[in-house]
Structure 1
Amino acid sequence: MSGLPSYPVLRHLRIATVLLAGVALCLVPYRYLTPPDGQLEAVLARDFLSVHTRNTPTTYYEGRHGPTGFEYELMRRFADHLGVSLTLDASHSIESVLETVAREGDLGAAVLPLEPTREGLIYSRPILDLQPLLVYRRGLPPVTDIERLSGLDIGTIRGSGADRVLRELQAEHPELGWRESSDVEVAELLSRIESGSLDAAVVYEHQFRLNRLFFPDVERGFTLGRPLSMAWAFPDRGGLGLQQEANRFLHALRQEGMLDALVARYFGHDDYLEYVGARVFIGHVHDRLPDYTELFREAARDTGFDWKLLAALGYQESHWDPEATSPTGVRGLMMLTLPTAGEMGVDDRLDPAQSIDGGSRYLRHIKDRLPESITGEDRLFMAMASYNVGLGHLYDARRIAEQLGGDPDTWEDVREALPLLQKREWHSQTRHGYARGGEPVIYVRNIRRYYEILTHVDRSQQQYLQLNELLDGEDDDREFEIVPPIL
């Protein structure tokens, strides 16, 4: 490492930098740090951390606003903690992650169950509890205990740890059988349950929470066995320095409460896209929308959209909260990223006027970039889907729709193709990889619901005003009770 400061100097410099940044979780006293050896020294010398992972919603994927995922967040923070950049290989299954890390690379992070006896690898301290959960197809007799599994066609992911739990149960229940594969992911298992090619599957509880909105015909059954521990895997060559530094980093995250916060952020609820109900929406129409109606009307005049459509999109994004902030740093009433705000000339994302103007022009920008062969409402719906998931993933879905014999210029066929981006057999063939393709489908559906309700409200209010039937101070909730959810 000639020409570089010594490791203690580097550590003090990095800790000083962290202090200035105000990140308490990395403030580890130097006296508790061990000198580098082997793998850690190599990482610091080459200035990047090489990680093998999987392209899944619980690990790493390209989201609407760039790379995301629970373990990606941890990897990125760990690389920042070391003061190095991050390189990822996300082309793996669980088994290939472990095999590859044993031969090359620095770290494996892919919802890996802790297996201390596995040759060629050492593991970090536990990161997250992995509770195996049996899920099954709605319409089957309730599956509430292991005795109800007899005769069911059950699937799971080989190497995930859930298969290990099944093997342990099989010792006591020899009649238990299942199918397993290392080439499927959780979304595909749930999809197979819905289609009827599987009756049930064993996944982890947090994985089901993350995916269940997109698979409404899959029911929660019961937990199996005790929780396993998710951990990172390191090669057993080159000493313990990198593993020990990771343990210090993870310990600090937990002590500062940051690890629990990340778990709550990614797995604490089913999904933010869940439809909130017509009554809640109508309440916000009364309480919040009047403050922004004229801004939406002005943006509509400038961009050619119906103001009610822009308002519906704004509600889907933030519930008309001008100070809304997502976990990924997207902000404002129209939830703009920093790059998008810069591109649209928005210098204050929390200014509702700027946010509505910038978000509306961005939707117009996306719509104008779509191929001319996409017309009418199909063009509008695909523009809205791209606002959510990004143009790259939309183009991938269009190509899948064409492969399936559909029309890539119709929303109906692209809507069917988008959820396939959650399946390895499809997203592995695309340019932009994994996407939570069910989200833009629900996103567009919700906006259309809100738009229809707003259209009804706007029309009704105009009629009442013309007839002088909207009296000051009179409760007009009756108007909204005749508006059912638009399914």
Structure 2
Amino acid sequence: MPTALSDHLRRSWRGYAASAVALLLGLLPERPGVPDGRHLEAILARDFISVHTRNTPTTYYLGRQGPTGFEYELMRRFADYLGVSLTLDASHNIPEVIEAVRRDGDLGAAALPLDPTRQGVIFSRPILDLRPLLVYRRGLPPVKRLDDLDGLAIATLGGSGTDLVLRELQAEHPGLSWQESTDLEVAELLGRVEDGTLDAAVVFDHQFRLNRLFFPGVERGFELGEPLSMAWAFPAGRGLGLVEAANRFLDELREGGELDDLMARYFGHDDYLEYVGARTFINHVHQRLPTYAELFREAARNTRFDWKLLAALGYQESHWDPEATSPTGVRGLMMLTLPTAGELDVDDRLDPEQSIDGGARYLRSLKERLPESITGDDRLFMAMAAYNVGLGHLYDARDIAEMRGGDPDRWADVREALPLLQEREWHSKTRHGYARGGEPVIYVRNIRRYYEILAYVDRSQQQFHRLNARLPDEQESGVLELIPPIM
């Protein structure tokens, strides 16, 4: 695990102390008609918990398989822990989440900083560390310390916790000035840094690592101040039963290793693509993909795939170069072999339309030929691996997974077995023998990452539409508030 996410236990005393203060501050008079200690009982009686959150990549969003996100996973598991269903309101910014929790919500889960000065809410124990990070536009002189911020246009998100850190620093450096907004999100800040509207932004380290591949024009600067703690917020004055249940749930999740697993899943994989490769990919998204996007969409309609998945596969094969040719004679945008092209009635592998249509149909046929016992994403990932290494070698890897006590229907186990096809000890026991089994593992991993970026770009185009529709002066005056230096 990256240090920024795994060492919260070593410094948790700070967060726990703040949590204790927050509990004391939260013991306000109970609400009329809501007896103290009855909040949890009321949730259990109505059989659902109401959670207020935000629609962001680090909290909650709709993915290919439905709702997902780090805090969504925690919310869903907590609801299961209580034995109730989950209802979400993701229409908020951070201040609105807190207000909604104070007013009528059960729980706020929206990358909230544990802030004991907030009135009317009680915070859970810390969930993970929030490390404030200064990032800046590529091409500017290196920004490595506070003195380098002089004259730069800086912005951050109001209410996120990074604004608190900046205010603490301003007490020591009165000339520090910045803009802040509660109407933007991290991706929008980074987009403004990259396009030159801003010079720099202050976000949290895990947010930057999650987004850095999408904004190759933004550089890491330096960490600011002391880490904060992310926590859940509960309404004060309604007893501690729900808070205590949440704390037990989080403790069990941490002790069982599931919390670390979730953090690794959502925040620990920004090295899947090396940085230069990510920059090249983003450039190709803008320069090459528009020429072929409609062909991918048409092929997707005919084969019932997500067009972005087909585009990701095409990029992995050829970097969207319709004349690509490998030393082994594989050709075209989807890099079809001559025999495969013949089976698919593709007579010109260098024709983008034929290649994309043929590649999509080939992936569909591979997926349909897999055993019915392989389901869901496991089936898709194995079909993609077979596109690279062939069905025969994939079946061999499934046999090896079973020999090793794994489940041949789970991609996680087959993924571990594929590289063993390069070792005589194992490939000698298979039907099809040696294969460069490490390649399909990287192949599938890269396609998944390319797909994530394309899905993000697709979401972002809709997300930015409202702001981009404003006039420039309306954007700046209506969205970002200037925090002046201390005179």
Task: Name the TM-score class by shorter chain.
Answer: 0.5 to 0.7
Which one of the candidate residues 381, 389, 404 is aligned to 1:332?
381
Q: How many Å separate the matches in 1 of 2:408 and 2:380?
A: 6
Cα distance 1:109–1:198, how it changes in 2: closer, same or farther (>3 A)?
Answer: same
1:150 paired with 2:150, answer yes
Which one of the candidate residues 408, 421, 429 is aligned to 2:462?
421
Residue 76 of structure 2 aligns with an amino acid whose one-letter code is: R
Cα distance 1:145–1:105, how it changes in 2: closer, same or farther (>3 A)?
Answer: same
Which residue does 2:133 correspond to in 1?
133
Q: 1:60-102, CA deviations, whole angstroms, 9 ceiling, x for partnerless residues?
A: 0111221110000100010111111110000000000001100
Task: For residue 156 of structure 1, give the secondary structure of its aligned residue in structure 2.
Answer: strand
Q: How many Å separate the matches in 2 of 1:326 and 1:205?
A: 36
Cα distance 1:269–1:307, how it changes in 2: closer, same or farther (>3 A)?
Answer: same
CA contact (8 A) 2:344 2:362 kept: no
Matches within 5 A, 1:193-272: 193-270=193-270, 272=272
Which residue does 1:102 correspond to in 2?
102
Q: 1:221-267, CA deviations, whole angstroms, 9 ceiling, x for partnerless residues?
A: 00001110000000012210111000000000100111011101100
Residue 212 of structure 1: how far off its partner (Å):
0.8
Q: How many Å separate the matches in 2 of 1:223 and 1:181?
A: 21
Residue 270 of structure 1: how far off its partner (Å):
1.8
Cα distance 1:54–1:281, how it changes in 2: closer, same or farther (>3 A)?
Answer: same
Task: For residue 116 of structure 2, give the secondary structure of its aligned residue in structure 1.
Answer: coil
Which residue does 2:117 correspond to in 1?
117
CA contact (8 A) 1:59 1:72 kept: yes
1:41 paired with 2:41, answer yes
Q: 1:360-411, CA deviations, whole angstroms, 9 ceiling, x for partnerless residues?
A: xxxxxxxxxxxxxxxxxxxxxxxx99x958xxx99xx9xxxxxxxxxxxxxx
Task: For residue 381 of structure 2, give the secondary structure of its aligned residue in structure 1.
Answer: coil
Q: How many Å separate the matches in 2 of 1:190 and 1:286?
A: 40
Following superposition, which runs of at least 4 residues in structure 1 exceed 4 angstroms of deviation? 271-278, 292-299, 311-314, 325-331, 348-352
Matches within 5 A, 1:366-445: 419-423=460-464, 425=466
Cα distance 1:425–1:326, how it changes in 2: closer, same or farther (>3 A)?
Answer: farther
Which residue does 2:436 correspond to in 1?
none
Which residue does 1:67 correspond to in 2?
67
Which residue does 1:360 correspond to in 2?
none
Cα distance 1:120–1:213, how it changes in 2: closer, same or farther (>3 A)?
Answer: same
Cα distance 1:113–1:305, how it changes in 2: closer, same or farther (>3 A)?
Answer: same
Q: How many Å separate the matches in 2 of 1:41 and 1:123?
A: 19
Structure 1 gaps, min length 5: 1-35, 337-347, 353-383, 398-414, 429-487
Cα distance 1:327–1:41, how it changes in 2: closer, same or farther (>3 A)?
Answer: farther
Task: For residue 332 of structure 1, give the secondary structure of its aligned residue in structure 2.
Answer: helix
1:50 paired with 2:99, answer no
Q: How many Å separate the matches in 1 of 2:468 and 2:63?
A: 13
Residue 425 of structure 1: how far off its partner (Å):
3.5
Residue 310 of structure 1 aligns with an amino acid whose one-letter code is: G
CA contact (8 A) 1:94 1:182 kept: yes
Cα distance 1:297–1:130, how it changes in 2: closer, same or farther (>3 A)?
Answer: same
Cα distance 1:425–1:299, how it changes in 2: closer, same or farther (>3 A)?
Answer: farther
Matches within 5 A, 1:154-173: 154-173=154-173
CA contact (8 A) 1:102 1:121 kept: yes
Residue 313 of structure 1: how far off its partner (Å):
9.7
Task: For residue 233 of structure 2, give the secondary structure of its aligned residue in structure 1.
Answer: strand
Q: 1:419-466, CA deviations, whole angstroms, 9 ceiling, x for partnerless residues?
A: 3234484699xxxxxxxxxxxxxxxxxxxxxxxxxxxxxxxxxxxxxx
Matches within 5 A, 1:303-322: 306=355, 310=359
Cα distance 1:293–1:43, how it changes in 2: closer, same or farther (>3 A)?
Answer: farther
Q: How many Å separate the matches in 1 of 2:245 and 2:468?
A: 34
Question: Given the two structures, how large is their TM-score scaled by the length of structure 1?
Answer: 0.56
Task: For residue 253 of structure 1, give the secondary structure of its aligned residue in structure 2.
Answer: helix
Residue 261 of structure 2 aligns with an amino acid whose one-letter code is: A
CA contact (8 A) 1:331 1:349 kept: no
CA contact (8 A) 2:341 2:358 kept: no
Residue 333 of structure 1 aligns with an amino acid whose one-letter code is: M
Cα distance 1:239–1:270, how it changes in 2: closer, same or farther (>3 A)?
Answer: same
Structure 2 gaps, min length 5: 1-35, 282-315, 319-325, 331-335, 347-352, 386-406, 412-446, 470-487
Task: For residue 58 of structure 1, give the secondary structure of its aligned residue in structure 2.
Answer: coil
% identical aligned pairs: 59
Q: How many Å separate the matches in 2 of 1:72 and 1:295?
A: 46
Q: How many Å separate the matches in 2 of 1:187 and 1:269?
A: 18
Q: RMSD across aligned C-alpha pairs, in angstroms?
A: 4.5
Which residue does 1:91 correspond to in 2?
91
Q: How many Å separate the matches in 1 of 2:68 and 2:468?
A: 16
Which residue does 1:433 correspond to in 2?
none
Task: For residue 270 of structure 1, give the secondary structure of its aligned residue in structure 2.
Answer: coil
CA contact (8 A) 2:378 2:409 kept: no
Q: How many Å separate the matches in 1 of 2:74 and 2:376?
A: 14
Task: For residue 116 of structure 1, give the secondary structure of its aligned residue in structure 2.
Answer: coil
Task: For residue 198 of structure 1, give the secondary structure of its aligned residue in structure 2.
Answer: coil
Q: 1:113-150, CA deviations, whole angstroms, 9 ceiling, x for partnerless residues?
A: 00123111000000010000000001110000111011
CA contact (8 A) 1:133 1:221 kept: yes
Which residue does 2:414 correspond to in 1?
none
Residue 329 of structure 1: how far off its partner (Å):
6.6
Residue 420 of structure 1 aligns with an amino acid whose one-letter code is: Q
Q: How many Å separate the matches in 2 of 1:38 and 1:91?
A: 27
Q: How many Å separate the matches in 2 of 1:234 and 1:262?
A: 23
Cα distance 1:248–1:84, how it changes in 2: closer, same or farther (>3 A)?
Answer: same
Task: For residue 208 of structure 2, give the secondary structure of its aligned residue in structure 1.
Answer: helix
Q: 1:256-306, CA deviations, whole angstroms, 9 ceiling, x for partnerless residues?
A: 11101110110002275665899x979xx899x9xx96996588459x953
Residue 332 of structure 1 aligns with an amino acid whose one-letter code is: F
Cα distance 1:241–1:270, how it changes in 2: closer, same or farther (>3 A)?
Answer: same
CA contact (8 A) 2:58 2:71 kept: yes
Q: How many Å separate the matches in 1 of 2:72 and 2:107?
A: 12
